[in-house]
Amino acid sequence: MSLIDRHAVTVSGRGTKPMVFLHGYGCDQNMWRLMTPFFEEAHKVVLYDQIGAGRSDLSAYDKDKYNRLQGYADDLIAICDELALGPVVVVGHSISGTIALLAAKKRPELFEKLVMVGPSPSFINDGDYVGGFDRSDIDDMLEFLQLNHEGWSSQMAPIIMGNPDRPALAEELEASFCRTDPQIAKQFARATFLSDHRADLVDVNTPTLILQSDDDTIAPVSVGTYMAQNMPNAQMVLLRAQGHCPHISSAPLVSKAILDYLAQ
């Protein structure tokens, strides 16, 4: 199976400037459907499913490779190379902001700009760093996920999505979690919530936009502020948005912020 088929890569748009949209944990490329129309006029829009998600080839999963986020970053690099896309703008949600960061660190010439929606280099509180969770909270969450994938999905989706007045959003996220291969999801969760890539921030000089919801229980404002202060060429925009998935709940707002940044 080709790399393109393995990740169910789709390409759309009438423009020539390449943009790659990278979904976060428990999601797939369909989560970008409300945003891509804003970019298809001027850009070549590339979407793909990370291994274990969506229509990706589950047989391509390699436990050793994907034990670390670098394995996912290498996939991003490989797809950009395969499609001869460089230099590209990458839009990454949540942990995929860190995946894009690692890819840019390894191959800086391949990336023109990074856009991170609700990113976090580390979810665990450490001294003055407020990542949002104590280590014991993370351990309890991972244990729950290990024991009951569906129960974890049902409990966490409303917390992650926020917007309690729009329950259909949380229901969609829960369904996405449940479609993800459970065993792969469990290992990806460990790679996501136990990783610490704060030290990598200073090594990436790629121009970066950090989009941070002002009401996000997963990646609090303190995380976005920390990243903007520690990356050499980053700026943060605080969005009046609820939850950790503003690209779904507030797609026009997020799209406008990205378009304004790209127009600078």
Please, what are the averages of pLDDT over each run of 10 residues along the chain (264 residues)? Answer: 95 95 95 97 97 93 95 97 92 98 98 98 97 96 94 94 94 91 93 97 98 95 97 97 96 98 95
Domain presence at residue 188? no
> Choosing from 49, 56, 94, 255, which is the catalytic residue?
94
pLDDT in tens, 128-162: 999 999 999 999 999 999 999 999 999 999 999 99
* Residue 90: predicted pLDDT: 98
Q: In percent, how much of the chain has pLDDT > 90?
A: 96
Strands 111-117 and 43-48 turn out to be unpaired
CATH number of the domain within which 82 lies: 3.40.50.1820
* Residue 178: predicted pLDDT: 86
Residue 244 designated active-site: yes
Domain presence at residue 162? no
> Choosing from 28, 74, 75, 216, which is the catalytic residue?
216
Instruction: Specify the number of domains making up the chain.
Output: 1
Domain presence at residue 178? no
* Residue 13: predicted pLDDT: 95
- In this prediction the pTM is 0.96
Residue 94 designated active-site: yes
Domain presence at residue 35? yes
> Choosing from 7, 43, 244, 247, which is the catalytic residue?
244
Q: Are 224 and 218 in contact (CB under 8 A)?
A: no
Domain presence at residue 32? yes
* Residue 1: predicted pLDDT: 80
- The whole domain housing 81 covers 3-121+196-262
Domain presence at residue 135? no
* Residue 85: predicted pLDDT: 85
Instruction: Report the 3 state secondary structure along the chain.
Output: CCHHHHCCCEEECCCCEEEEEECCCCCCHHHHCCCHHHCCCCEEEEEECCCCCCCCCHHHCCCCHHHCHHHHHHHHHHHHHHCCCCCEEEEEECHHHHHHHHHHHHCHHHEEEEEEECCCCCCECECCECCCECHHHHHHHHHHHHHCHHHHHHHHHHHHHCCCCCHHHHHHHHHHHHHCCHHHHHHHHHHHHCCCCHHHHHHCCCCEEEEEEEECCCCCHHHHHHHHHHCCCEEEEEEEEECCCHHHHCHHHHHHHHHHHHCC
* Residue 155: predicted pLDDT: 94
Domain presence at residue 180? no
Domain presence at residue 72? yes
